[in-house]
Amino acid sequence: MNNEIKLKVNILPDEKEVICNKDTTILNACTSAGIMLNAPCSGEGTCGKCVVQVIEGASAPDSCEFQLLSGTMLKTGYRFACRSKVNDNMRLIIPSESRIVREKKVKASTARVLSLRPNIVKMYLRLQQPKEKAGVSHLEVLEKAILRRFGKIETPLELIRRLPNILKAANYKVTAVIMGRRLTDLEIGDTTRDIFGVSFDIGTNVIAGALININNGKEIGTVSDISFLSKNDRDLKAKITTLLRNPEEGLKELQDALINRINGIITELISKKKIRREHIYEMSAAGSSVMQHILLGINPTSLVSATHHPVIKRSIDADAAALGINLNRMARVYVMPSLSGFVGGDAISLILSAAMNKDENIKLAVGLGANGIIILGSKDRMLIYSTSASSAFDGIHINNGMLPSEGAVEDIKFNLGHKHKKGKDIELKVIGNVEPEGITSGAVVALLSELKRLGVIEKNGRIRSKEELRNSLDSAILNRIGSDNNGNTFTIYNEKRKKIALTQRDVKEIQIAKGTIRAAIEIMKGILKITDDDIMEVYLSGTYGITYNLERIADIGVFPANYLEKLEYLGDSTSIGAKMALLSKDIRAEAEIISNSVEYLDLASREDFQDEFSIWMNF
C-alpha cells in the first residue's frame, strides 16, 4: 500500500530531514519537522502563501498551482505546500515569507508586550566560491543565498564594488546586514551576535538614550543629560523665537547642540558597555514635534506661529552620518511621526505604551512634563489635548526646581510625632546622597500633599501664616513657615548657605498645571459622553528620571480620588515608545495610523474650559 512507503524529505536551509508516508502533503511533512508554514486557506490552494521550491523529487503541479503560479516558477520547482504531495525522496527550500515565525516577545511597558520584528536583520552565510567558467557571478551567489533564507533584497552599487574583496578576505564566510529589504553591508565572519541600536527621548529638558540588544530586545544601558537649553533659558518657544531670527545660523546652532548631546550619550553608552560603534546600526527618536524638527534640521518656526502647522507629520528615515550622528557608517535614524502643533512622537509614544490604540476599553493617559499631554479614548475614537501649562511638573517655573540629577530632592517624608534618627522633623531623599541643591517636581507633589493634610495649604492654594497655625502645629513645622514678596513660604532646607523653599508662586504654578489637566479630562469626558466608570485604565507618564507617588498625585487633584485603584505609573513613555519603534516594524506602522486618526482638540478656545479650569485649580 502506498501509505506504507516511507520517503525522505530534506528541508533547506534548516538542514532538517523528515521521514513520511508517500502522498503526505509537503505542508504536513514540514509540520512534523517542527516548521510552521503560512497556510491560512487550509489547503484550498487559494491564498498562495505556502509556496516552496522543490529542487529534487517534485510532483506534477495540480490545477490550483497551474492557475496561480507562473510557468517559470512551475518549471523551477515552485509548488504550494498544502497541495503538492511527497511521491519520491525530496529536497526543498522554504522561503522566509512562507514561514510562520515564532517571534520573540518583549515586554515594552506595564501595558504592552510586542513582537520582536526589528528593521535590522543579520544573517551568517557560508557561500560557495563560483567555479571557473561556470558563468555565475559573485553577486548572484550572494543574492541567491539570501533569497533562500530571507527573500529578495536590493544590493547597492557601493557594496557591489567592494564585493570581490570582501568575499576573498572572508573566505566566502560573511554576515549580511539587511535593513528593511536593502543589503547595507557584508561583515567578515559570523557577527550575528553583535547587532545593537540606540533609542532616544529627545526631551525639551532631558535627553535620554538607551543602548538596545536587537537580538533579544533587552536594554543594556541608559544615559541621560540635560538638553541643549541652558538652566536659565528652558522656555523652548522663547529659545526658538530668539535664535531663529537668523534662520540659517539659528537652526544650525540648535541642531548642532542637540546632535552633540546625542553623540556624547552614545559615546558614554558604548564605553560603559564596551560595544563597538560600528555594531550600532539604527537609532530611533521621539519627542515633541519641535524637537523632532530640530533633530532633522527642519525649521520649526511654523510651530510657534499662530497656525502651529508642522513642516512634516509622517515619520522620517534619515542617514545617521548625514545628520552627524556617529554610529555605523550605514546606520539609519528613524524619527517618529507627529500629530499636530507641538504634539509629536512623545504623544504617539504615550498611546503606544498604554496600548490605547489596541484596546476597545476606554483608557486615560496623562503625560506630565514641559509639554503636557492628555489622551482619552479607545481604538475606536481617541481625543488628545496638549498644554505647556503642565511645565511645572517638569520643574520649570518652580523656585529651586531641578531635573533629576545629583543634589536634587526627589522625595520628602514628614516625621511628625517622632523624631528621625538625626533629629529632623522632615527627611529629604536626595539623589546621590549629597547636600541638596534643588527639588524635583515629584518631591514638590509629595510636599504639597503633606502640607494640604496638615492644613498649611488651604483649598484655594494659599499658604497659611505662622500666626494662623500657631495653635495647631508643633514648633518645628511652624518655624519652617516664612514669607517673601509674593506671599508665604515653606522651607524644607536651610543649611550651608543654601535655602530651598516652596513659595506661593510655586503653589500657583502647580495649581495652573493640575487645573488645566483636570479641566481637559472633564471636557473630554463630556465630548465622548462617558463617566468615570467607563474609564477602565488610567496611566501617568513623566519626564525621564522623575517618579511620582500615585496617592499624592491623586491627593492634590490631578485625578479624581476614585481613579487611584486603576491608576498606573508608566515612567518615561517617550523613551518606551522610541524603544518600541526600534524593535518592531509593526509599531512603526501603528504610529503612522495613530498620526492620522487621533483627534486633536483646541480646548483653551472653548467657553466651558475656563469654568472647568477655575473649579479644578482648587485643592
Residue 578 within any structural domain of the chain: yes
Q: Supply the CATH number for residue 174's domain.
A: 3.10.20.880
Residue 31 within any structural domain of the chain: yes
> What's the number of domains the chain is made of?
4
C-alpha 389/C-alpha 548 separation (Å) is: 18
Q: Are residues 91 and 116 in the same domain?
A: no
Q: Are residues 161 and 92 in the same domain?
A: no
Q: Are residues 524 and 586 in the same domain?
A: yes
Q: Are residues 290 and 427 in the same domain?
A: no
Q: Are residues 109 and 92 in the same domain?
A: no
Residue 352 within any structural domain of the chain: no
Q: Are residues 77 and 118 in the same domain?
A: no
Q: Are residues 401 and 507 in the same domain?
A: yes
Q: Are residues 137 and 87 in the same domain?
A: no
Per-residue confidence (pLDDT) for residue 68, from 0 to 100: 84
Q: Are residues 259 and 369 in the same domain?
A: no
C-alpha 453/C-alpha 448 separation (Å) is: 9
**Cα–Cα distances in Å, from 221 out to 108, 209, 224, 273, 556?**
15, 8, 10, 7, 35
**Residue given cell 490604540 in the structure block:** 357
* Domain end (from 151, 167, 188): 188
Per-residue confidence (pLDDT) for residue 410, from 0 to 100: 92
426: closest CA among 406, 446, 442, 441?
446
CA dihedral 407, 412, 416, 418 (to 10 degrees): -60
Residue 598 within any structural domain of the chain: yes
* Domain end (from 98, 131, 166): 98
Q: Are residues 513 and 430 in the same domain?
A: yes
* Domain end (from 170, 188, 206): 188
Residue 515 within any structural domain of the chain: yes
Range of the domain at 552: 359-452+493-619
Q: Are residues 92 and 13 in the same domain?
A: yes
Q: Identify whether the C-beta of residue 491 lies closer than 8 Å to the C-beta of residue 436.
A: no
- SS3 for 610? helix
C-alpha 401/C-alpha 236 separation (Å) is: 17
Residue 477 within any structural domain of the chain: no
Q: Are residues 111 and 27 in the same domain?
A: no
Point out the residues of the chain with pLDDT beneath 70.
Answer: 1-3, 42-43, 101-103, 105, 133-134, 228-245, 247-248, 304-308, 417-423, 545
pLDDT tens digits for range 20-49 = 999 999 999 988 887 888 887 766 777 778
Cell of 447: 510636599
pLDDT tens digits for range 54-83 = 989 999 999 888 888 888 788 888 899 999
* Angle between helical axes of 289-296 and 236-243 (0-180°, round to 10): 40
End-to-end alpha carbon distance in the chain: 85
The DSSP call for residue 104 is: -
pLDDT tens digits for range 407-459 = 999 999 988 754 444 557 899 999 999 999 999 989 999 999 999 999 999 99
Strands, sheet with 498-503, edge to edge from the N-terminal-most edge strand: 481-484, 487-495, 498-503
Residue 408 within any structural domain of the chain: yes
Residue 474 within any structural domain of the chain: no
Q: Supply the CATH number for residue 298's domain.
A: 3.30.420.480
Q: Supply the CATH number for residue 23's domain.
A: 3.10.20.30
Q: Identify whether the C-beta of residue 574 lies closer than 8 Å to the C-beta of residue 286.
A: yes
**Residue given cell 528621625 in the structure block:** 420
